Chain A
């Protein structure tokens, strides 16, 4: 039986609180032993993790893999190659594809393409509404049965309060979360960036913080009598942190995710590179220093529990359009880990144990992996004997420069090109197979 041994690393498993030097043995895709000085004689392959941190395989709860429909920007094969390069062993793909992931047949298509690609695990998030049109409920029950791990109309907000209430009620018994893209559309018509001094100067339509905040506030109210798991995607505004903090203090089942760019960049980026730089155009938009500080505080005090990438590939051609016409979004799978280390650990906002928790056991909980006895997600996000053999080996000291030409995904649209960072996944193991390994000196 094919076996792998990861030796000499500092093993961090937030689910069990483990943080000590240990070896990990994986056989037939399952963890068979965790402990000191495991016998290396029987292993087919050994990864030397000396000086490295070994964690459960990282989980990204928010990516856009563009397949089906926009294969010129990304496919499940290229997107999962990007994922393993970034240390992720599981990614949750959003349903804003063409056709949308809004019934069980598309869910099954995602699983089939994932198997053909053979890189990392992909679990689909199904649409809340048919065709993501915000009118009628999609086939939520059938998608849940087929393996969807949550529901969202991501890219668009569930705008109608009536539909939102029905969706919360309908999703509740599945045990899965409604993941909301919080954007009040009537406040963001014609918007291209954060509403502030830069948008005023550049004559660009503004996307104000309140457009995010009113949706969260409304949804939390709607959910009060329902109690469905409700998750705020890519939170960007300081005011949103406050609303989520209050809801959690009232024991509402509310969670929220951050993205790396909202922790490191502000709206000033739009004026770089000759101005009107589409590399800094994203949704929700880059905001201001006060928002960054509030989101960091939300991470530090446990208000925000999940870290995502919002990996959103767009072709160079589409990003070369004028700012107002260019699409929103940046890629993130290859860079998120190093950027989170910079934003959270180097800044002192949190420690390794917590950061790894936010990239493993917390997103696993969001997607119901902790409760699943079987199925695509069962046991993910933790390291335990008998559990799935997914692990990420991180060299926390490795200094490197973000160079988009080296990305494994199809697109290069990142505002972080040329940025110096520290820390990188040097090996990514999915079900006992080494899907990515970096040659180290």
Chain B
């Protein structure tokens, strides 16, 4: 996928680089000057670096459009590292990244681990089971202890909304939110935006004006949706939330950041489909539905709708429904997919599907997040 030259508008906002390559400071500079303390220097001509001033990445809802673009532009510059035969740059050499996962996750943890390793950071894992987490230690105590061992960044996942903010208050090192309860999952939101921009030729500006994205299913329980709505509407897209009213309530419209109408809730999936440039199909998060009393993952019922059978008939993206979509409209899914429930297998594997591209882009986005929060400290 060829990178396009930055548009006049992007240049007006962020002067200096004439091509993305020149802008690709972390990569380019890392090759030229393998950094000691050098990683802390002002990136050469780095517009993203001038915009970004945060120590943490806790959510997209608090970021400006310029800050979102800075992250995405940095991700774009990292994207081709994964395609080289030597998949490593020394941007975070000597830094330590700790994965602090209080909630189970394999793919997100591996994605963050690979991202850190491609930046030459050392990575340690602390997962919920078998660690102090299961011995009753509080989150902030655990994080402070990890930090005391000389960690530069903690990547946090937790079942409670606000857990990453709590950790950020307890430590001085960088904190990256890898999902907190029903609140935000900012790197997933960014990779969804990146993938959307990629599919619709917006990688030069990350201006999403004119694009409509449907987020379908269990929106109310979804941190992916909250990050996606915040980020996409800030960059100009219109988001339509679709689902049964118990999972896609009207109150979600308040999350749109592009003014009234930038986030709307609809219940007629069939009517929405022909109007969108992308659908993001969400998994039903039974484990987050209150009223479901079970420690296991086997629960497949929820007080929010009568049956999975009815849900699938109303809101699954089937082959027939996917056929109603516009040419060029894409199908996204944050994974893991429940094939045959929210998404037909044929659609997941079909021509519209960008699900594996999302996974690939996730690496670049997470490299960018780590680099912006840690590499420039």
Contacts and interface: CB of A to CB of B under 8 A. Distances in A.
Given A201-B255, A322-B139, A325-B160, A276 B223 contact: no
A324 B255 contact: no
B182 A204 contact: yes
A203 B184 contact: yes
A196 B223 CA distance: 17
Nearest to A275: B165
A261 B226 CA distance: 30
B166 A322 contact: yes
A347 interface: no
A155 interface: no
A197 B290 contact: no
Contact of A200 (B138, B139, B163, B251): B251
Contacts of B291: 189
B277 to A, nearest CB: 25
Contacts of A46: none
Contact of B161 (A274, A276, A320): A276
A contact residues, range:
20 to 34
Contacts of A200: 251-252, 254-255
Contacts of B163: 322
Contacts of A190: 290
B251 A197 contact: yes
Interface string B72-113: 000000000000000000000000000000000000000000
Contacts of A317: 138
Contacts of B165: 274-276
B162 interface: yes
A240 B293 CA distance: 31
Contacts of B44: none
A205 B169 CA distance: 22
Contacts of A202: 161-162, 183
Interface in A204-248: 204-205
A436 interface: no
Interface residues of B, number: 26
Given A202-B183, A203-B183, A189 B290 contact: yes
A205 B291 CA distance: 12
A203 B223 contact: yes
Contacts, number: 63
B238 interface: no
B181 interface: yes
Contacts of A189: 290-291
Contacts of B161: 192, 202-204, 276, 322-324
B354 interface: no
Contacts of B254: 197, 200-201
A275 B138 contact: no
Nearest to A188: B290
Interface in A322-338: 322-325
B241 to A, nearest CB: 11
Contacts of A372: none
A325 B163 CA distance: 10
Given A203-B183, A203-B226, A322 B158 contact: yes
Nearest to B159: A324
Interface in B245-287: 251-252, 254-255
B140 interface: yes
A321 interface: yes
A321 B223 contact: no
Interface in B184-225: 184, 223
A325 B166 CA distance: 12
B61 interface: yes
A320 B162 contact: no
Interface string B21-64: 00000000000000000000000000000000000000001000
Contacts of A323: 160-162, 166
A197 B290 CA distance: 20
Interface in B310-360: none
Interface in B135-186: 138-140, 158, 160-163, 165-166, 168-169, 180-184
B169 A203 contact: no
B168 A203 contact: no
A189 B291 CA distance: 7
A211 to B, nearest CB: 13
B255 A275 contact: no
A204 B180 CA distance: 11
Contacts of A203: 161, 180-184, 223, 226
Contacts of A320: 138, 140
A192 B61 CA distance: 20
Contacts of B183: 202-204
A204 B290 CA distance: 12
Contacts of B182: 203-204
A324 B251 contact: no
Contact of B162 (A196, A197, A276): A276
Contacts of B162: 202, 204, 275-276, 322-324
B61 A321 contact: no
Given A200-B254, A201-B255, A204-B182, A276 B226 contact: no
A10 B220 CA distance: 57
A338 to B, nearest CB: 29
A276 B166 CA distance: 8
Interface in A291-348: 317, 320-325
A100 to B, nearest CB: 24
A438 B168 CA distance: 40
A283 to B, nearest CB: 16
A324 B291 CA distance: 16
Nearest to A197: B254
Nearest to B166: A322
A380 B252 CA distance: 51
Nearest to A191: B290
A317 B140 CA distance: 11
B168 A274 contact: yes
Contacts of A201: 61, 226, 254-255
Contacts of B61: 201
Nearest to A199: B251
B169 A274 contact: yes
Nearest to B140: A320
A324 B168 contact: no
B163 to A, nearest CB: 5
A252 B162 CA distance: 44
Nearest to B222: A203
B305 to A, nearest CB: 16
A159 to B, nearest CB: 15
Q: Closest 10 A-B residue pairs measured CB to CB?
A: A276-B162, A190-B290, A203-B183, A203-B182, A189-B290, A322-B160, A203-B161, A323-B162, A324-B160, A197-B254
Given A197-B254, A201-B61, 12 more contacts: A189-B291, A200-B254, A200-B255, A202-B161, A203-B183, A204-B161, A204-B181, A320-B140, A321-B139, A322-B162, A323-B162, A325-B160
7 contacts: A200-B254, A200-B255, A201-B61, A201-B254, A203-B180, A321-B138, A323-B161
